[in-house]
Structure 1
Amino acid sequence: MKNRIFAIAATWVFTGAIQAQQLNIPAVFRGAEQQTKVMLAEIDKAKDGSGELVSPRTIENNRLKLVKSGDWTSGFFPGELWYLYEYSQNAEWKKQAEQFTANIEKEQWNGRTHDMGFKVYCSVGNGYRLTNDAHYKEVLIQSAKTLSTRFNKTAGVIRSWDHNKQKWDYPVIIDNMLNLELLFEASKLTGDKTYYNIAVSHANKTMENHFRKDYSSFHVVDYDSATGKVIKRTTHQGYSDASAWARGQAWGLYGYTMCYRETKDPKYLKMAENIAGFILKHPNLPADLVPYWDFNAPGIPDEPRDASAAAVIASGLLELSTYSKKGDSYKAIATKILTNLTNHYRAPVGKDYGFLLLHSTGSKPFNSEVDVPLSYADYYYLEALLRLQKINNKKRLFN
């Protein structure tokens, strides 16, 4: 099967324009709607009666795994429902999105984690974007206030984790770039530049301390909370401290593209282009453009892929295509990624508990969620498809 994927992917790379026609976005969304109906039924079966398990995350031990609202992945499934509503304008998807989003709202007060963007912005943020509901606005503002309490003025960054305190003093992970969108939005909603300034400070410090000369990213940078100086650069989910963890590179690409959107600072555009260059020119990027879980994993080509990283990269490249002089190239590459995900990584309708994409990798070093569906892969896959459709239809990605 692996050889067949490589063969088809190689054909795709060399026949780009012709193969691009094979991505039928309406058909993909019809399949996604069918799959999500399967997922809704499976969620009802998987609940434990406590009322605390609210969102699907993956398949574990041949069972659908649900998580509590405090899990960093809890906001992705509500976000998927909002994307299905955005595409279809079907009121039933809106109703489902509202119900699942309501389960996440209490996280606006949870200051024990940095994952406010993933949890709240992907769910409530999309809900507000599509409905202008005043209640959602207030949740977003409170969420930004809560996230802001994790900002260290001396270091200039938002703390990521509170766990493993014996290992790090003030850890900041590249994933944290995705939480800045919430702060930018709160600044616009309130007129308070404090949120904007925190986001810019975090983006600048991350640019300064997280990236190597080749624009690959470390996963974790540990700061001295008293002085703000870097103690060490390391990894938690990558192959090694010196390696390029695939999803981490995707977070950087997506994050700096978003920062350019919100600030129009050209250094963020350049940074996004440089990160894209590292990813797309890397000799270990497979022919089908769906990366291995780490660009430096020692067993390549027999290492697990990460479809979630590919989906994030595709979505980031599509937004970047609307700003960059290299836009046509970025759009074409993103289309290739989405076509290959659709043709070779998608779950059959009615199977796999309703997940959309297969073959993602959560944390290979911990042998956790390896070669499985993941909710965030599905979220960014749908987001990327919506972005591509808007671009094809000459519509703005953001109002």
Structure 2
Amino acid sequence: MLNNRLVYYNKAGLLYYRQKPVNLLVRRVNTLFVLSCSVCLVLLLFACSSDKQFSTDENIVYCEKQVFKTLASIPLDTPNIPRNIKDDEGNWRYVNYKDWTSGFWPGTLWYLYEATKNDSLKQEAERFTSELYNLSIEPAFDHDLGFQIFNSYGHAYKLTGDEEYKEVVLRTADTLATLYNPKVGTILSWPRSVPNMEWPQHNTIIDNMINLELLFWASKNGGTKNLYDIAVRHAETTMKNHFRNDYTSYHVVVYDKDSGERIKQVTHQGYADETMWARGQSWAIYGYTMVYRETKDQRFLDFAQKVTDVYLEKLPKDLIPYWDFNAPDIPNAPKDASAAGVVASGLLELSTFVKDQNKARHYREVAEKMITSLSSAEYQSRDKNSAFITHVTGHKPNGTEVDTSINYGDYYYIEALVRLKKLQQGIGLGKNL
């Protein structure tokens, strides 16, 4: 049970431990010694790999090696969750549990534990998962609870069966549901003033599609049916209002909070309101594939294919998109490898649902080519830093996290590798949890 583990409590921005600090230090030294020994073995194994022949196992080993390097440099005190590579020396910028990306790091550790059964990774996954506990007992301050809690506590419950992890997931789903506006039919993304969002009107971003998985799962594992209904209504309303006639996605839709009428369709992180922001389209591909999995409603499977096909038609030769498909400086515009990871992972799952075998085979083959491209010397970080992949772009209009490594790029890359390995073994993906 969690009470018998090393549990971290965030209070006033500080970390408190059940063990005395000196015992924690000893534990960290012992853990890092074990990790350093593992690194030597991993380095030997990975030295045999090359870009000429793609190997799922070798690239999982590569990710394990990179994680050990990151763990060896993480500070003991908060903030200590790696978010992005901040400088040319390869140093991470760290955030605390409130950052919207905080769940990707523990989620990455859980995926690697699932793939390798390395108990040292399990201990670190438990450690960083526990740091996010307060999100389950505090009021919602944005929609990203799915990214944060489902990626961490959700994975923890899947792999351990610990009921305390489950309770955190269920409680957080109820918290996310408090942002739902029944007059609009979607979950509010940013319950605060954000430029160009007409606050206090109701804003919804395409990213929010991913957080619906938390509600679907909770509704089927002890939560109320209302959570399922909210998720379906959000997906339906987004399908109606968030897409152009060619099935490319807007980033943000602003609604009248009282009437539910659509006010405007704009961007926040894309190049312009009418352009296709790469990661936004990737959220749509992944999100509607997941919604079909949870509902088995043919409308969502058809729509997932439509938003997928327009994305695939516009990709460059290496299958890694520029940060915005309509950026004026292409081919000199920065890429967004994180969008490629999201789509590759989503395509693998989509390929298992599509009944047309030729199309299903096409989706699977393209996904594998994307993963192979991400696994090349061009996109893996390797000796540049301890992340998995590079050439990720976070917020180009704001000039932040441009052409670097970011934790969600790594998360979806390892998820794609784990999913591909399961398919190669004939296991099938089934539900994520």
Q: Which of 36, 55, 60 is equivalent to 2:86?
A: 60
For 1:338, give the aligned amino acid.
I
Q: How many angstroms apart in 1 are the aligned matches of 2:130 and 2:223?
A: 26
Relative contact order, higher structure (CA 8 A, sep 6+): 1
Question: For the Cα contact (< 8 Å) 1:141–1:186, is it kept in 2?
Answer: yes
Q: Which of 105, 110, 115 is equivalent to 1:87?
A: 115
Question: For the Cα contact (< 8 Å) 1:54–1:74, is it kept in 2?
Answer: no
Q: CA deviation at 1:220?
A: 0.3
Residue pairs, 1:240-319, within 5 angstroms: 240-282=272-314, 285-319=315-349
Q: How many angstroms apart in 2 are the aligned matches of 1:278 and 1:110?
A: 38
| Correspondence for 1:13 | none
User: Deviation per CA, 1:148-187, whole angstroms, max 9, x where unpaired?
Assistant: 0000000010000123356322110000000000000100
| Correspondence for 2:25 | none
- TM-score normalized by the length of structure 1: 0.91
Instruction: Give 3-state SS (helix, strand or coil) of 1:128's partner.
Output: helix
Specify which structure has the higher proportion of helix: 1
The structure having more radius of gyration, on CA atoms, is: 2
Instruction: Give 3-state SS (helix, strand or coil) of 1:369's partner.
Output: coil
Greater than 4 Å deviation, 4+ residue runs = none
Question: For the Cα contact (< 8 Å) 2:51–2:375, is it kept in 1?
Answer: no
Q: How many angstroms apart in 2 are the aligned matches of 1:228 and 1:20?
A: 51
For 2:353, give the aligned amino acid.
Y
Q: Which of 129, 138, 163 is equivalent to 2:167?
A: 138
User: Deviation per CA, 1:339-386, whole angstroms, max 9, x where unpaired?
Assistant: 01101200115x41x100010000110111000001000000000011
Q: How many angstroms apart in 2 are the aligned matches of 1:41 and 1:52?
A: 15
Q: CA deviation at 1:54?
A: 3.4
Task: Name structure 1 gaps, 5 residues minimum.
Answer: 1-18
Aligned-residue Cα RMSD (Å) equals: 1.5
Q: How many angstroms apart in 1 are the aligned matches of 2:141 and 2:156?
A: 24
| Correspondence for 1:31 | 62
Aligned length: 372
Identity %: 47
| Correspondence for 1:348 | 382
1:70 maps to 2:105: no
Q: CA deviation at 1:147?
A: 0.2
Q: How many angstroms apart in 2 are the aligned matches of 1:20 and 1:256?
A: 32
Q: How many angstroms apart in 2 are the aligned matches of 1:106 and 1:212?
A: 38
Structure 1 residues 384, 165: closer, same or farther in 2, change over 3 A? closer
User: Deviation per CA, 1:14-54, whole angstroms, max 9, x where unpaired?
Assistant: xxxxx99822111111111111011011212xx6xxx4313
Q: How many angstroms apart in 2 are the aligned matches of 1:31 and 1:367?
A: 30
For 2:57, give the aligned amino acid.
P
- TM-score normalized by the length of structure 2: 0.84
Question: For the Cα contact (< 8 Å) 2:270–2:277, is it kept in 1?
Answer: yes
Residue pairs, 1:203-242, within 5 angstroms: 203-242=235-274
Residue pairs, 1:112-191, within 5 angstroms: 112-164=141-193, 167-168=196-197, 169-190=201-222
| Correspondence for 2:352 | 322
